[in-house]
Amino acid sequence: MSTAVESNAAETVVVMEQVEKWFGRLHVLRGVSLSVRRGERIVICGPSGSGKSTMIRCINGLELHDRGRIVVEGRELRDDPRLLRTIRQEVGMVFQSFNLFPHLTVLENCTLAPMKVRGLSREAAEARAMEYLARVHIADQARKYPAQLSGGQQQRVAIARALCMQPRLMLFDEPTSALDPEMVREVLDVMIELAESGTTMLCVTHEMGFAERVADRVIFMDRGEIIEEGPPAVFFNQPKSERLKLFLSQILHRA
Amino acid sequence: MAPAPSRPARPLASARERRAWLISASVTALLVLLIAWVAWRFLAWAVWHAVWSVPAGPDGAPNTDACRAALGEGACWAVIGEKYRFILFGFYPYAEQWRPALVVLLFIGLFAASLFRRFWHPSLFVVWAGALVFSAALMWGGFAGLPFVPADQWGGLPITLFLATVGLALAFPLAILAALARASRGLPLLKGLSILYIELIRGVPLISLLFMASVMLPLFLPPGIEIAKLLRAQIAFILFAGAYLAEVVRAGLAALPKGQYEAASALGLSYWQSMRHVILPQALRHTVPMLVNTFVGFFKDTSLVLVIGIYDVMTTARTAILEPRWQGFGIEVYLFLAVIYFAFCYSMAGASRRLESRSATPLAATEEPA
Ligand SMILES: Nc1ncnc2c1ncn2[C@@H]1O[C@H](COP(=O)(O)OP(=O)(O)OP(=O)(O)O)[C@@H](O)[C@H]1O
Ligand SMILES: [Mg+2]
């Protein structure tokens, strides 16, 4: 198994092997294995508390796994601040609650890490920030503070902020769940553009329309396990497990 | 206001409403009368019957008979005129008192300048540090023809300003480090030390810390090494203020949503980078009112150094009225002192309001604390 990993290193962005994670006595990830190829777009869904967030947070070390192996861009994750920082530079993350820095302007939010972590000059960082802000259609708000923007705008800034580090992989944790319905569209549109430009992404979401349109693979998690996965056409139309059938009927009824 | 439309003026409807109005009106009238009476009495004492200066007696010393005659009737402001130099500058040689005066003006000027955002620049720290060194040098003298004045002759307002400014300037970084250590998860030893420091100091009154610094510290030092009394008081003061400020900073850190920490680390920022650029700027701004509150408290607490024989402005004032000739005129001196303290503390409160209104806009938080 591990030889396959190394020989495919150029093509494989993330490998998780038999990852286990406990919160105290709560067993949150139970033997999760997953490998993500470059350019692949993966959507993860599952009931609340099934461990979706925990799984993707293990990939950039916001949570540390207890057992198994996680390899990101050829580096195995360990509890080592230096290594974690190196890996995080290559992994962008977008949170449900945006988590923009409220004391910095939109532009400063986007230039902070490129300047401090990548060592870009202010001019270079600002030029890059404006480029990505334009890509998420919000360049005209660059001088504003996050609190002056709508939720949808804030989330697009958060996406731009992550992109400014030019990561090899983007993680999204329910990026549209905290948004008013009329703002979901603008954020999804940006994510679709991103997916179509070949960005490798792992996205936890219940937006099944998005999954059908851009995902190469959809993954269903329940109680800390990957129960089923497949291309969207198969995943949605011919679910095999009872749990996925139940889950799909629930979310489709809700929608 | 435009006259009300034709609705007939409603008579005060019920007896109950009438009675309520009557009560509130008479209470107001009573209060006005009371305030007027107190103000009248105070003005009579402080202005009309006051003795503003006293003649010199045959021996050249001031003759306070006029003040004695007015005792209880009018204030004796002459005591301030006679003693203000001693109150402000203590036993500092009379002819050299322009030096502490200059130091006080320098401090006031710098404090005022520090309030303006225009001057908020890293170089402000350099200016402050330079000013502190310059002030100490000027107080000591011993160069450029300035006579040397040992620190035990310093006294009055410069001492208060020194202790408060240097104390808070050094306590603040100490507080940030202690708060970060206490909030950290990775380093249990550091965390334990910080908790020990904060809780130990907070469990002890400042007075006993000052006593320990002045009496016990020398016992622990190897013979031959001596730390000036003022420095010892300063150290005690820094440790004390640091522990309290640490708790204020910690509250600010705890109030930040967890997402801020996560977003900063997810971008690859190191611990110190996240602290410096993301966490502390927000945590400290949220705690400005609390910080200023603590600052004001410590400014006043500097007066406790009297217990170890340092002549801050409170002690010089008390000493000034020990002289038999001036005994009995404590009220005047304490009023003078109160005005000084009030001026400084009120300015700090005003500064706090300025800072808050400045930082309020971009910080209208968009998320709930985690
Ligand atoms: N830091 C933590 N400490 C303790 N328990 C946690 C922690 N984070 C998550 N959990 C628990 O772990 C389980 C999995 O959580 P996780 O957030 O990964 O689920 P999820 O699939 O993302 O759910 P949701 O759809 O609600 O976001 C839940 O039972 C949750 O309560
Ligand atoms: Mg989640």
Instruction: Quick: pLDDT tens for A9-46.
Output: 568 999 999 999 999 999 999 999 999 999 999 999 99
More confident position, A9 or B189: B189
Q: Is the CB of A53 under 6 A from ligand 1?
A: yes
Helix (H) or strand (E) holding B141: none
Nearest ligand 1 atom to the CA of A174 is 27
- Find, among B360, B180, B178, the residue nearest to B275 by Cα: B180
Q: How far is B130 from chain A (nearest CA, A)?
A: 30
| In a domain? residue B55 | no
Selecting from A60, A97, A116 the residue whose C-beta is nearest the C-beta of B259 gives A97
Q: Does a structural domain hold residue B334?
A: yes
pTM of the model as a whole: 0.80
d(CA A13, CA A71): 8
Evaluate whether residue B19 is within a structural domain. no
In a domain, B92, yes or no: yes
Q: What is the pLDDT of residues B44-90, one digit of tens each?
A: 888 888 788 777 777 777 777 777 777 778 888 888 888 888 888 88
Shortest Cα distance, chain B CAs vs residue A116, angstroms: 7
Q: pLDDT tens, B21-30?
A: 999 999 999 9
**pLDDT averaged over chain A?**
92
Distance (angstroms) between ligand 2 centre and the Cα of A173 equals: 7
Q: Which residues of B touch A146 (CB under 8 A)?
A: 366
Read off the pLDDT band of B362 (50, 70, 90). very low
Whether residue A169 has pLDDT greater than 80: yes
Question: In sequence order, what are the residues at sequence separation of 6 or more whose Cβ sits closer than 8 angstroms to the Cβ of residue B187?
Answer: B181
Residues of B with CB below 8 A from A93's CB?
A: 263, 266
CB contact under 8 A, A103 and B363: yes
Query: Which residues in chain B belong to E strands, given as ranges?
Result: none
- Flag whether B123 is in a domain: yes
DSSP state of B97: T
Is residue B1 situated within a structural domain?
no
pLDDT of amino acid A83: 95
Q: Hey, whose CA ends up nearest to atom 3 of ligand 1?
A: A23
Ligand closest to the CA atom of residue A63: 1
For ligand 1, pick from A19, A21, A22, A23 the residue to mutate: most ligand atoms within 8 Å of CB.
A23
**B66: in domain:** no
| Amino acid at site A117 | V
Q: Tokens 């008390």 — which residue?
A: B318
**Does the C-beta of A200 come closer than 6 Å to ligand 1?**
no
Please answer yes or no on whether B362 and A98 come within 8 Å at the CB atom. Answer: no
Structure tokens at A191: 């994510």
Listing from the earlier edge strand, what are the strands of the sheet with A75-76? Answer: A26-37, A12-23, A67-72, A75-76
> At residue A23, what are phi and psi to the nearest 5 degrees?
-105, 100
Q: Which residue in A has a C-alpha nearest to residue B281's C-alpha? A: A103
CA-based nearest distance A150→chain B, Å = 10
Residues 108-137 of A with CB under 8 A from B: 112-113, 116-117
Contacts of A197 (CB under 8 A, 6+ apart): none
> From B273, which residue of chain A is nearest by alpha-carbon distance?
A116
Q: Is residue B369 part of a domain?
A: no
Q: Reply yes or no on whether the pLDDT at A171 is more than 50.
A: yes
Place of tokens 């502490």: B100
pLDDT in tens, A95-154: 999 999 999 999 999 999 999 999 999 999 999 999 999 999 999 999 999 999 999 999
DSSP B48: I
| Rounded average pLDDT over B221-247 | 82
Lowest mean pLDDT among A184-193, A205-214, B316-325: B316-325
Q: Whose alpha carbon is nearest atom 5 of ligand 1?
A: A23
Contact: A154, B366; criterion CB under 8 Å: yes
Looking at residue B9, its pLDDT comes to: 55
Per-residue pLDDT averaged across B295-318, rounded? 79
Q: Is B194 helix (H, G, I), strand (E, B) or coil?
A: helix
Do strands A91-94 and A12-23 pair parallel, antiparallel, or not at all (unpaired)?
Answer: unpaired
Domain total for chain B?
1
**Atom number, ligand 1, closest to the C-alpha of residue A224:** 14
Q: Looking at the predicted structure, is the pLDDT value of residue B224 above 70?
A: no
Interface of A with B in 73-92 (CB under 8 A): 81, 84-86, 88-89, 91-92
Indicate which CATH number applies to the domain containing B335: 1.10.3720.10
Alpha carbon B363 to its chain's center = 27
Q: How large is the greatest C-alpha to C-alpha distance in chain A, in angstroms?
A: 55
Residue A51: its pLDDT value, please? 95
By residue range, what is the domain housing residue B170? 77-361
Please tell me the distance from the alpha carbon of residue A72 to that of residue A146, in angstroms, as a whole number.
31
Give pLDDT tens digits for B273-283: 999 999 999 99
